[in-house]
Homo-oligomer: A and B are copies of this chain.
Amino acid sequence: MSRFVFGVDIGGTTVKLGLFDTEGNLNDKWEIPTRTENAGENILPDIAKSILDLMNKKNISKEDVEGIGIGAPGPVDESGVIHKAANLGWGEFSIKDTLEKITGLKVMAGNDANVAALGEMWKGGAAGCKDIVMVTLGTGVGGGIIVNGRILSGYLGAGGEIGHIHVNDDEEECCGCGKKGCLEQYSSATGITRMGKKVLSSCDDPSALREGDVNAKTIFDAVKAGDKVADRIADIYGHYLGEALANIACVVNPEVILLGGGVSKAGQVVIDYVKPYFDRRVFHGSSQTRFALATLGNDAGIYGAARLVLS
């Protein structure tokens, strides 16, 4: 009889769920809406119902299930307590205890970015590695850090919040966190767009970007087409991210740094602009650290959540 494990990735609008065997083969994948009303009180019961329904349908008994892993958008500590998830309306409580009570199954929980990193370590761009840093370049810059095969959660679940590393003393605009000069002000999709508009308005040089939308995708498309202004914008992205990652490498000495998230869909070019700044700055103890692209896309979260149960 096969043994199963569920991986769940809670997002602000949808919850992704996956049914895996214990080897990490994805047997089934589906989504349900995230009902955030009433302080998100329905989210875990909805997940429980959806999983129990599927088990019924597929004739899977509780004895066949190793457990449920969950990634949630907020700081989650080692014990499975989330300290706040503003997007879901959640305050502080134990995801693990709550969902175990409803389902009668073992539950493990982690922060979504950390869990995605674990997924990439298991079946994605860092398969076979035990020490990785995953950088998710999306609306913000998220981080997930795996140390010796385990998620680095930190004291209150705020480990891997690398988007808020300070990189620029001269910044005048505020980051979403209230500080000035955070990494995600330059290297997130939003940050790249912001810097793109700044560079374009500060010069008269011709650029394909002067017509149409300016965003991370159009900027990296223009880079690939040889656009010199786009090259300058990408260089700002790479400069801050590469130098920040060199400092992060001093702290955690990763085998691989994975770049993922929407921005990384541009491909190898997102590494090419980071690597020279990283190499110039990195301490020799981490000079063997290599870069790679994440490969699981939006499924990294359900893979990592499933893996959490098997650790």
A residues near B (Cβ < 8 Å) are 75, 78, 129-131, 143, 145, 147-148, 150, 152-162, 164-166, 177-179, 243, 246-248, 250-255, 281, 283-286, 288-289
Asked, given contacts A78-B148, A148-B153, A243-B166, whether A284 binds B252 with beta carbons under 8 Å apart, the answer is: no
A280 to B61, CA, bound (A): 53
A155 contact from B157, B158, B289, Cβ within 8 A? B289
Asked, given contacts A165-B250, A179-B281, A252-B251, whether A288 binds B156 with beta carbons under 8 Å apart, the answer is: yes
CB atoms of A159 and B252 under 8 A apart: yes
CB atoms of A253 and B165 under 8 A apart: no
Considering the complex, give the chain B residue whose CB is closest to the CB of A175. B283
CB atoms of B154 and A131 under 8 A apart: yes
A127 to chain B, nearest CB (A): 15
In the assembled complex, which residues on chain B have CB atoms less than 8 Å from the CB atom of A165?
Answer: 247, 250-251
In the assembled complex, which residues on chain B have CB atoms less than 8 Å from the CB atom of A152?
Answer: 147, 152, 251-252
Asked, given contacts A152-B147, A166-B247, whether A253 binds B157 with beta carbons under 8 Å apart, the answer is: yes
In the assembled complex, which residues on chain B have CB atoms less than 8 Å from the CB atom of A143?
Answer: 251
CB atoms of A254 and B155 under 8 A apart: yes
